[in-house]
Structures are given as C-alpha cells and as structure tokens.
C-alpha cells in the first residue's frame, strides 16, 4: 500500500502536468494569435475568461459528484473531456470557436484538483498529506516548465493549431496506467486521521454556514489570481515589455515555473515538519501560508527591474512563494473536513479562486491597454495580504451539527 500510494501520487502529478500543458498552449501562442487575429489585451482577456468561466463554475458542482463516485472514475471522465476539448480547439477558425472549445476545456479541467485532493486523503495520513499534495500540485509547475519548450517549438515549426492537437492527444495515454494502478474498490487505504470521522454527506447550506469553508474560499479568491496572472500573461509581458521573441520566450519562460515546482514541495515539507513537532495540522498550514503571503508582496518590484533577467528572478521568487502557499491551502480541506465533504469544499474554493481570477484577467486586460503593467503588479502585491487575513477563518471551531446533516443537493 505504501508503494502504491506514491505511484498514484505520481499519476496525479502527471495528470496535473497535462492539465497545465493543455491550458498553457493558449498563453504561449498569444503573440502569434494577437498578430494573426489583431487581438488587443482586452480581447485576449475575453478568451481567457471563456476558459475560466467553464473552469470556475463547474467546480461548484463537480466536487459533489467526485465525493459520490470517487476520484478514480472522476479523473477518467475529466481527462477524456479536457483532452478532447484541446484537440477540438485545434480546429478553431475564429475567436468564437476557440472561446467555446476553451470553455469546454475549462469545464473538464475543473475536476482535476478536487479529485486529486480526495485521492490524497484516501491514500495518505495527515503527516504526509501536504507533501503529497505539494508533489502532485508541482505537476502544474512541471507542465508550465515543459510547455514553453514544447509549444513554442511546435508553433514555430508547424502552427498554433498543431500545438493544441498534440498536447490534447497526450491525455489519452495517461488513462492506461491510471486504470491499471488505481483500484476500483472504494475502501479507504489509510485509517482516518484523528480529526476526521466518517459522517453522512454535508449539505451545501451546512458547508456555507461553516466559517472554515469561507476561510478557504476567500483565501483562494484573493491569492489564486497571482498564479493565473503569471500563467496567462507572462509570455505577453515578456513579448511587449521586455521585447522577447517567441523562441526567446520558449527558452526562458519556464524558469519561474521550475521555481514554483520547488515551492510546492518546500511548502508541503515545512508544514509537515510542524505537524511532526506537534502543531495541529490546520495551524501548521496557516503558519506557512502567512509567511508565503508576505514573500509574495515583493512582486511589485518586477516593474522596476532594469534587467529582464532580474525581473524573471523576482517573478520566480513570487511564484515559489505562491506555490508554498498553494500546497497548504489545497491540503487544509483534507485536514479539517469529513471525507464526504473534501472534494466539495475544494470545488467551492476553486470556484472562488476562479471568480477572483476572471475579475483579475478582465481588469488586467483593460489596465494594460489603457495604462501599463505597473498598476497590475501593485494590485497583485496587495492580494496575498487580503488572502492571509481571510485564511485565519480556517481556524474557527467546527460546527458539529453543520457537518452531520444529510446531503440535500442532488
């Protein structure tokens, strides 16, 4: 079981990598798309919003489905869905078609994180969860590292449509080891942690009355925008402000995301060490998140860096700190909620993060078109402070009646 759980974590890592490889195609072909289709920054932000709309609002409901059918079947359906949508995007002839297929891709990708966190709760004890979550979540960074190398090469040699098609096809190969390694049985693989007991499904209303749910949701509402901004706008920033060519973007845009991958592991290790020293799991996660939030505020200095390489170094530090934060905020629901509510809560928080991200993308497009990147970097530096303040709601006492009501959402 110990050996198999890490193989499953590896497959979750690969699924997350493919998730980000697919979504990074749009980001990296932006310089080509903007020239071919005469897109303004505002127009590009509308395409991003189509993806984020599907990704965001699907998470309101997908978590409940995952809590009922389990992570094995959920990820099978999700992988087929978003991979097929990515391939379909390669057939787009105009912006409306591309926006539709990206909306569908976002709808499928919405199941990835809730399913993965639930799988980690099933297979890992509390002291290992943050490391396991950090490990699979570093797949997002690995995908972002790999994407500039693969997507830029495919786009330069062939076209942006080929980049979409090739990346979409890869997901179907992932299904083979997943079907072989993940047991179809729903039996738990580790004993329940002391703070988690098996209870009936929690209702939507019960979870929304729980201040801990709002703590996770508001934290992600404010802070997820930082990651989404760098994922989707970094190539445009390097092209328009630092005057990088597409080949140069491909050669350097992976660096911040390598730092992010390291941050996922470091953040998990730090809170895991605190748990081993006797800290309550949730309190250990919040402690690491608060320190990471302070580090993220340094991103305001990106605009003032005279050298593009110094700017990349500072961006790398910011996304490293974000990933330390993310590996812990994704783990918290598995620490504080019953098994029947974990994926639902992660879905709720993903929706909150997506709403914040959509607002940020739309505002960023307008601000960049009419002013510059400077106000955007200032705004991004304020977000982690708001997120850190909200995250302390996670430490609120549990309302036992709220967690024992019969599920009423289906």
> How distant, in Å, are the alpha carbons of 84, 104, 225, 295 from that of 368?
33, 27, 16, 25
| Residue 137 backbone dihedrals phi, psi, to 5 degrees | -70, -25
The DSSP secondary-structure symbol of 29 reads: T
- What tens-digit pLDDT sequence spans the chain (410 residues)? 567 888 999 999 999 999 888 887 887 787 787 777 777 778 878 888 888 888 888 887 888 888 888 889 999 999 999 999 999 988 888 888 888 999 999 999 988 888 898 888 888 887 788 788 888 888 887 887 888 788 888 888 888 889 889 988 999 999 999 998 888 764 445 544 434 444 445 566 777 788 898 999 999 999 999 998 998 888 888 888 898 887 888 788 888 988 988 998 899 899 989 988 888 888 999 999 999 999 999 999 999 998 999 999 999 999 999 999 998 998 888 888 877 777 788 888 888 998 998 899 889 888 988 888 999 999 999 999 999 999 998 888 766 443 333 333 32
Name the residue with tokens 């290992």: 128
Cβ neighbours of residue 57 closer than 8 Å, sequence gap 6 or more: 351, 354
Q: Which pLDDT value is given to residue 378?
A: 94
Map tokens 């730092």 to a residue: 259
C-alpha closest to that of 27 among 249, 197, 215: 249
pLDDT at site 61:
82
Supply the angle between the helices 342-370 and 374-391 in degrees, to the nearest 10.
160
> Do the beta carbons of residue 346 and residue 329 sit within 8 Å?
no
Domains of the chain: 2-181+204-395 (1.20.1250.20)
3-class SS at 383? Answer: helix
Kindly report the pTM of this predicted structure.
0.71
CA distances from 54 to 184, 330, 355 (A): 29, 20, 11
Contact predicate 204/409, CB 8 Å? yes
Tell me which DSSP letter residue 373 carries: S
66 φ/ψ angles, rounded to the nearest 5 degrees: -65, -40
Whether residue 365 contacts residue 252, with contact meaning beta carbons closer than 8 Å, is answered with no
What DSSP designation does 99 have? Answer: H
Q: pLDDT tens digits for 263-295?
A: 988 998 999 899 888 888 889 999 999 999 999
Closest CA to 376 of 253, 235, 225: 225
Residue 184's pLDDT is 74
Q: What is the pLDDT of residue 198?
A: 43
Q: Name the one residue in this structure whose structure tokens are 């083979």.
A: 176
The DSSP secondary structure of 148-184, one letter per residue, reads HHHHHHHHHHT-HHHHHHHHHHHHHHHHHHHHHHS-S
Both tokens of residue 351?
Answer: 């929706």
CA dist 135 and 140 (Å) reads 10
pLDDT of residue 408: 36
* Residue 35, C-beta contacts closer than 8 angstroms, at least 6 positions apart: none
What pLDDT score was predicted for residue 81? 95
Tell me how many degrees the CA angle 392-398-404 measures, rounded to the nearest 5: 145
Would you say 64 and 207 are in contact if contact means Cβ atoms under 8 Å apart? no
Helix (H, G, I), strand (E, B) or coil at 245: coil
Residue among 345, 43, 21, 381 at smallest CA distance from 196: 345
The pLDDT tens digits for 201-246 are 556 677 778 889 899 999 999 999 999 899 888 888 888 889 888 7
**Residue whose tokens read 């170094």:** 313
Burial (CB count <10 Å: 0-12, 13-18, 19+), residue 137? buried
Count Cα atoms within 13 angstroms, Cβ side, for 67. 30
From residue 406, alpha-carbon distances to 64, 71, 199, 207, 401 in Å are 13, 21, 9, 12, 10
């Amino acid at each position: 079981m110990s050996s198999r759980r890490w193989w499953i974590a590896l497959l979750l890592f690969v699924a997350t990598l493919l998730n980000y490889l697919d979504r990074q195609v749009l980001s990296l072909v932006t310089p080509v798309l903007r020239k071919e289709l005469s897109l303004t920054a505002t127009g590009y932000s509308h395409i991003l919003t189509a993806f984020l709309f599907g990704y965001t609002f699907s998470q309101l409901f997908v978590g409940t489905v995952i809590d009922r059918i389990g992570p094995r079947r959920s990820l099978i359906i999700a992988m087929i869905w978003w991979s097929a949508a990515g391939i379909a995007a390669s057939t787009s002839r105009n912006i409306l078609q591309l926006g539709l297929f990206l909306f569908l891709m976002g709808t499928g990708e919405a199941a990835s994180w809730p399913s993965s966190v639930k799988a980690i709760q099933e297979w890992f004890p509390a002291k290992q969860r943050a490391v396991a979550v950090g490990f699979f979540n570093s797949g997002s960074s690995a995908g972002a590292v790999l994407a500039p190398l693969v997507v830029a090469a495919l786009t330069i040699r062939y076209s942006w449509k080929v980049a979409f098609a090739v990346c979409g096809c890869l997901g179907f190969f992932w299904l083979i080891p997943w079907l072989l390694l993940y047991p179809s049985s729903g039996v738990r693989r580790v004993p329940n942690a002391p703070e988690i007991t098996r209870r009936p499904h929690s209702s939507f209303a019960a979870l929304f009355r729980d201040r801990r749910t709002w703590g996770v949701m508001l934290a992600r509402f404010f802070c997820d925008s930082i990651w989404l901004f760098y994922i989707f706008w970094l190539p445009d920033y390097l092209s328009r402000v630092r005057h990088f060519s597409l080949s140069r973007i491909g050669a350097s845009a992976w660096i911040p995301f390598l730092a992010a991958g390291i941050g996922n592991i470091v953040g998990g290790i730090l809170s895991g060490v605190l748990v081993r020293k006797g800290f309550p799991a949730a309190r250990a996660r919040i402690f690491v998140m608060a320190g990471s939030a302070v580090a993220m505020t340094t991103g305001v200095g990106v605009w003032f860096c005279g050298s593009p390489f110094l700017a990349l170094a500072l961006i790398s530090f910011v996304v490293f700190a974000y990933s330390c934060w993310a590996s812990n905020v994704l783990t918290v629901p598995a620490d504080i909620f019953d098994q029947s509510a974990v994926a639902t809560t992660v879905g709720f928080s993903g929706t909150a993060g997506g709403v914040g991200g959509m607002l940020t993308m739309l505002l960023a497009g307008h601000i960049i078109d009419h002013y510059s990147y400077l106000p955007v970097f200032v705004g991004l530096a304020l977000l982690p402070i708001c997120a850190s303040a909200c995250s302390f709601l996670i430490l609120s006492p549990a309302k036992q009646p709220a967690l024992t009501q019969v599920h009423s959402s289906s």
